[in-house]
Amino acid sequence: MSSLKRRLAAIVFTDIVGFTNLSSKDEEGAYKLVVKQREILKPIVEKHEGGWLKEEGDGLLLSFPSSKEAVNCSIQIQAAVKNIDELNLRIGIHQGDIIIEDKDVFGDDVNIASRIEPFAVAGGIAVSQKIQQDLSSNPEFEFKFIDKPKLKGVQQEISVYCIISHGLPESKKSQVQAKVEPKKKYYKEIFISTLFGIIIFSYLPQFFKSNDANFLQSSLSQAMKKNNVLISELNSTKHEENILLELNKADSLLALNTPEHNSEVITNIEMLMAIDNTQGDYYSILGQAFYQRWRFKQESKEFLNRSSENLNIAIKMKNINIDYLAFAYMTNSDIWLSEDNLSEASENIIKALQVKRLPPIKDRFKKITLMKLQNMELKK
């Protein structure tokens, strides 16, 4: 029987910069680096009353009873690894509610902490406004505002700062490669409108010379056929505003990782598919949702089959957003892992990485790489 606990905590995420590249070139060296990180960091975390909640690949999820303990520990960690080759850490800190169930950790604030971490530079620390406000009256700490981004999958408004005291490097907004919601742009709409304008004005003289009232319509049709590939690419994953809201909502609900929210995702996506089943985005989300459902009740193989079925449909479809294609491959990799097929899991996560190097995919790649290394160690 699972034990679920909820508590307020300062949440710390750490990540080794360049670990994915190191893993692809030197798997054994990458494994040794993770072991060294554990040996150095664990005593520091324990000294500051921290909880070693989760270790996934090279990334760590830690919790602390206060913002000050979390920041002091992170500063000491950066000082401890400063002169160690390849052990270049980025650290993100946020404060909020976390849910601990068995050996896993959930909660929107956990997601926020993971989204803040990429705002730190190598050797640096990025924090949310909650941490900054907690320590703003303490002259020991100095902060600098970085940005107020719309973080991917996060509904709350978050301001991000970096710590610039204690010899820590400053983050530059222009160098940040964090996962944020894209700002709405109208390049595609402008391009299509311009294309139509060019076509229309090109054929207007011939239209007025012709007695055929259908001339312009047939000419436009021919011109559109010539540009068919381009137009189909522009519109392949275009959704109306209300559909985009539903997709973003589904992403956010999946991140919450609860049975109730999962049911809402499945219901909403199946409703969209009943209206339009030509979008690969829907199949990808549904496949992810069924896999998540299976994780809640692992005895139900039907959910795993439904997940695999929808993901494979998504992968084969041309009209699918590149992010959803990448996540379809990643979830397929997770399914193979659940069946202890490390070879197929590795093949699918590599495909996901080739589609797009999103942070969760890079994390999963690191995890699978380490599993392969551990298998190699066992075979020695």
Q: What is the per-residue pLDDT for 67?
A: 94
**What is the β-pairing status of strands 4-16 and 89-101?**
antiparallel
When pLDDT is averaged across residues 336-347 and rounded to a whole number, the result is: 90
Going by C-alpha positions, the residue among 30, 74, 84 that lies closest to residue 369 is 30
When pLDDT is averaged across residues 317-324 and rounded to a whole number, the result is: 87
* Residue extent(s) of CATH 3.30.70.1230 domains in the chain: 4-175
Give the CATH number of domain 4-175.
Answer: 3.30.70.1230
The architecture in CATH of the region 241-379 reads Alpha Horseshoe (1.25)
Burial of 14 (0-12, 13-18, 19+ CB in 10 A): buried
* Residue extent(s) of CATH 1.25.40.10 domains in the chain: 241-379
**For 242-296, how does the pLDDT look when each residue is reduced to its tens digit (9 = 90+)?**
788 888 888 888 888 888 888 899 998 988 888 877 888 999 999 999 999 898 8
- Band of residue 180 on the pLDDT scale cut at 50, 70, 90: very low
**For 218-251, how does the pLDDT look when each residue is reduced to its tens digit (9 = 90+)?**
444 444 443 333 333 333 456 777 788 888 888 8
* Cα–Cα distance for residue pair 331/333, rounded to 1 Å: 5
**For 129-145, how does the pLDDT look when each residue is reduced to its tens digit (9 = 90+)?**
999 999 988 899 999 99
Going by C-alpha positions, the residue among 240, 333, 262 that lies closest to residue 106 is 262
When pLDDT is averaged across residues 98-107 and rounded to a whole number, the result is: 73
How high is the mean pLDDT of the chain?
Answer: 81
DSSP state of 151: B
